Structure 1
Amino acid sequence: MYIRKILLFIVLAGLVGGGLFAYKVYSAFFNPNTKFNNDEAYVFIKSDDTFNDVKEVLTPLIEDLETFEQAADRKGYATNIKGGKYAIKKGMNNNEIIGALRSGNIPVKVAFNNQETLESLAGRIAVQIEADSVSLLNAFKDASFLRNKGFDNGNEIVPYIPNSYEFFWNTSAEKFRDRMVVEFNRFWNDDRKAKAKKLGLTPKEVVALASIVHKETAKVDERPRVAGLYLNRLRRKMLLQADPTVIYAIKKHANDFSIVIKRVLYKDLELDSPYNTYKYAGVPPGPIAMPDISAIDAVLSSEKHDYLYMVANVEDFGYHKFAKSMAQHNRNKEQYIRWINAQKINR
């Protein structure tokens, strides 16, 4: 009888202990473990983060860090961290949180506009993905990459077409750069290539010319007319004489793209730079900024006309007055010079 009581006690103790253990395991995995009020919270985990880094990120978001650690250890997550952007939903348990961190990497939208330099592009991208601006700039300027892809120091900015793209947040600098080349090649489909060939230009030359069009006018509806003007000048072997190229040449010569130039002076036209289209014929060796798609397509589908000259229209700001002859252009120019002098804009 005594032995039976002992055995019964052992069995009961085992059942209680097993029940407590099962409850503890269940609680660690399946009890809700969030403490924020929003429907979901986002966490960013770097590619080289450790489990301690992950816990630091999650501390403000979860109720019981200890049970999370236990669950993460049992599921093998603590030794298999994956970088990315993840969503933690309100009321998630540890099992669901770990599942989200393991396979729920969320893409992010990466957007950039017409940056003037690779440095400014790197800075713009670095605030949107994990890669920092230094690693991005090094990837952009990598000599072997440029050589293998058919670019050089004059047109290394060409592959980056301003738009909105989807990336994983933990994308490396090299993967971002390589993806941009893929997007560039996709953009230059057979139709666009055929249009460029008909103009007697390569895709790189179209981008360079489009960058001038982009800088000349912010009015998208005017860009095909401006593009047609420059194409007319190219066909007639005339200098493009585009003020934005002079401004770019000045900035590049000074190695300072923060300079603000509102007026191009006659002395500026003498600057010896391949980007100065008052001195050198043809399309510059590379873009003076990243033209957006509307500017590129404006070149490829330019307006057909006989205009050869243009000047800012002071009666309709943002637009230009166009002329077919130098005499007509000089009349338009006089009005502009009177206006700019009245504004006392000397630089």
Structure 2
Amino acid sequence: MTSDTVRPPRSETSGSDFARLSRKIADAGLMGRRPGYYALRSAVVAGLYVGSWVTVALLGDSWWTLAVAAFLAVVFGQVALLAHDAAHRQVFRRRRASEVSGRIAGAGVGMSYGWWQDKHTRHHANPNHEDLDPDLDPNLLVWSPDQARAAQGLPRLIGRHQAFLFFPLLTLEGFNLHVSSARALADRSLKHRALDGTLLYGHFAVYLALLFWLLPPGMAIAFLAVHQCLFGVYLGSLFAPNHKGMPILTGEDRPDFLRRQVLTSRNVRGGRLTDIALGGLNHQIEHHLFPSMPSPNLRRARTVVRRHCEELGLDYVETGLIASYRQALASLHRAGAPLRQPRLSVAR
């Protein structure tokens, strides 16, 4: 055999289950960048962002500005989704371009990009793992009966009826995003801490200055409350259907990458409007398998991934949006069950 002998191409049946799926995705061209799509999407969202504030200035001392506050909550959610895509390098291949665009978008909604990226990266590595996924930390809600039994303080009080309180509590999620971002700046291990702090507090200063310059104090406070509360509800509604109510891994539960991502994620059925409203996160299984895939490609990837899972006999969960919320709430209710039992029973 000579040194220039050409090796035969790898068979589609060779390699791990995920490697074979990756080749199918690559052959379909689904990992390619979509610069035109992101240029248009960014321009539209930026236009709506600026246009909302211009509308507030034109309306002035009018309670119709509260309608603008509700609309701006949705725009903020769309900006956060752009930050999410940039952090995953869906927009740009290069790290620097991704970080710059992500930080700009994160600053637009009052979020520390560095803190959120670290947290979200850990979530992607171990989705729905009780010990390793930061999204399952029992800071306010409990996500499993074991967490309920160990709960103290506010999680113990709220946990009894957390399924009924979930959506009302989401009104605080926007404020929680800001507070968590500010608290993260105290962590010296946070990369680019000074830059994150400058952008974060710069956002707060400009946001509040605009509000109290354009509106009377009482109306400014009302605008802030409506805007931030509905922003929180929108944020929570984006992420709740994705993993809540799916299997929770514990301890040494570490299936291979393909199964770890597929079995803990749920897709949400819907058309193009659902894609826009949820920023592509309705294709959560595909997003977790291929985080850097541009969001407009996820719908096409769904067909490939679903067929591959069927070939492997692997559960591929997909449901409607309302059904996904129902399943998430049912899971929260089950998780809080130990807290609804007599104290002696919980102590056991």
State the TM-score, normalizing by the size of structure 1. Answer: 0.23
Question: Which structure would you say has the larger Rg?
Answer: 1
Task: Answer 1 or 2: which has greater helix percent.
Answer: 2
TM-score, length basis structure 2? 0.23
Structure with the larger RCO, 1 or 2 (CA within 8 Å, 6+ apart) = 2
Greater share of strand residues, 1 or 2? 1
